[in-house]
């Protein structure tokens, strides 16, 4: 089995002349929770739709579980669960009827999971979808994806309208799933604190390309914000070319940069005769620094 459950190679996709996704090389390791982050319009939803087989790339190659999404067979789709951003479930159906209907298409449908999630989120199976709130409808969509016991779960803003308690419950359900071997989750969410709780790898897409793709721990450990001050010989000539962000005022500089090891900063400080102060960044801070114009 391939190490990567999702692989894209040089994928391009544009809409009406403007490129939504440019030369995308995304790789999601089997068994991980991959947090896929990006601003609105950065190409996130386009990428996810391509992975789900709803739209096709203009060029490049995509493989989900070894298969091109355009050629996913029914048996391939058993293993892929999908919750979309604007999940439009059949509004006239009752929750119970929808579960019953969907279960027809999956051999490993787990009704126990359905009952558990219905109870946990307090959803009335007799209610019609259109009578549910947005958030509850999303929970139903999530339930449908979980009950099919997928190997890969693709979640695009699955918790967007949920309150804090419901979101925690949803994250726990997701973690329960992932505790079984070889299950992978691709989670795309604007709620970075949620992603930070559970993800082990992070991908940040900005303006159509993947700017960051690495383990979350490494990201948090190596990307720091550093304030340089006390330049004994003045600040002129002080530059950090490969910083993620860099700004200078007349006597201090602020940089968001990657620290591969502990020696970089002392060396910099020694070379430029200055002092430094490190601020640790959380995922939201790093994200903003990476994607800000």
Partner 1 sequence: MKARTPYWPLFRNELGVGHYAGIPWAMCLGFYLAIWLLASSLPLLILFKTCEGNLATFFTAFGGMFGFALVWWVAITAWLFAFALLPGISNPIQTVRAFEFMFTRAIDRRHLLRTRAAVIHLVLLGPLLLNLLVSSGSRETTFGPDNSQPESALRREQYSNAFPASRPKEGTVGVYPKEGTVRGWPITALKSLEQPAPIVIPRGSMALSAWILWMGALGLLLMQGYCVLVARHVQNSPWRAVMVIGGPIVAAALLAPWIPKLYPDLFEQSFLFFARNLVPLLIGLLALVPAVQIFSERRFSKLEIL
Partner 2 sequence: MFVHLNPNSGMPIYRQLFQQLRQRIVSGQLAPGEQVPSVRELSAELKINLLTVAKVYQLLEREGFVETRRGLGTFVLDGHATRSLIEKRKLIAHAVEQVVSEAQHLDLEEAEVIKLIRQRFEAAKTKT
From the list partner 1, partner 2, none, pick the one residue 93 interacts with, judged by a Cβ distance below 5 to 8 Å according to partner type: partner 1
32 binds partner 2 (CB under 8 A): yes
From the list partner 1, partner 2, none, pick the one residue 10 interacts with, judged by a Cβ distance below 5 to 8 Å according to partner type: none
How many other CB atoms are found less than 10 A from the CB of residue 261? 7
88 binds partner 1 (CB under 8 A): yes
122 binds partner 1 (CB under 8 A): no
Rounded CA-CA distance 108/19 in Å is 39
Coil vs helix vs strand at 162: coil
90 binds partner 1 (CB under 8 A): yes
Residue environment code for 179-191, b if the CB has 16+ CB neighbours within 10 A, otherwise e: eeeebbbbbbbeb
Rounded CA-CA distance 73/283 in Å is 37
x-marked contacts with partner 1 along 132-171 as a string, rule CB under 8 A: ----------------x-----------------------
DSSP state of 71: G
DSSP state of 67: B
Q: For the chain, first and last CA: distance in Å? A: 40
Instruction: List residues binding partner 1 (CB under 8 A).
Output: 15, 49, 52-56, 73-75, 77-78, 82, 84, 86-94, 97, 101-102, 104-107, 148
Instruction: List residues binding partner 2 (CB under 8 A).
Output: 31-33, 168, 171-172, 175-176, 178-179, 193, 196-200, 216-217, 220-221, 275, 277, 279-285
């Amino acid at each position: 089995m391939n190490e990567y459950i999702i692989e894209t190679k040089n994928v391009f996709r544009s809409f009406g002349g403007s490129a939504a996704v440019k030369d995308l090389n995304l790789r999601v390791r089997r068994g991980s929770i991959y947090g896929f982050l990006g601003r609105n319009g950065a190409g996130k939803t386009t990428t996810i739709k391509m992975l789900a087989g709803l739209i096709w790339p203009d060029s490049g190659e995509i493989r989900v579980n070894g298969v091109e999404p355009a050629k996913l067979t029914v048996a391939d789709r058993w293993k892929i669960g999908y919750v979309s951003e604007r999940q439009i479930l059949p509004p006239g159906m009752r929750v119970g009827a929808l579960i019953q209907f969907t279960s027809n298409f999956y051999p490993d449908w787990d009704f126990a999971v359905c009952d558990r999630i219905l109870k946990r989120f307090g959803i009335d199976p007799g209610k019609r979808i259109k009578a549910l709130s947005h958030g509850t409808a999303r929970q139903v969509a999530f339930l449908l994806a979980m009950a099919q016991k997928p190997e890969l779960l693709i979640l695009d803003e699955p918790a967007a309208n949920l309150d804090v308690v419901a979101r925690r419950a949803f994250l726990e359900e997701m973690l329960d799933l992932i505790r079984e071997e070889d299950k992978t989750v691709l989670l795309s969410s604007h709620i970075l604190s949620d992603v930070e709780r559970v993800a082990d790898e992070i991908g940040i897409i900005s303006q159509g390309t993947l700017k960051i793709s690495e383990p979350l721990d490494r990201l948090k450990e190596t990307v720091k914000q550093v304030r340089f001050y006390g330049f004994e010989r003045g600040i002129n000539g002080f530059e950090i070319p490969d910083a993620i962000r860099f700004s200078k005022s007349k006597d201090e500089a602020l940089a968001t940069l990657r620290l591969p090891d502990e020696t970089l900063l002392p060396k910099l400080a020694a070379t430029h005769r200055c002092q430094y102060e490190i601020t640790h960044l959380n995922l939201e801070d790093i994200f903003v620094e990476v994607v800000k114009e």
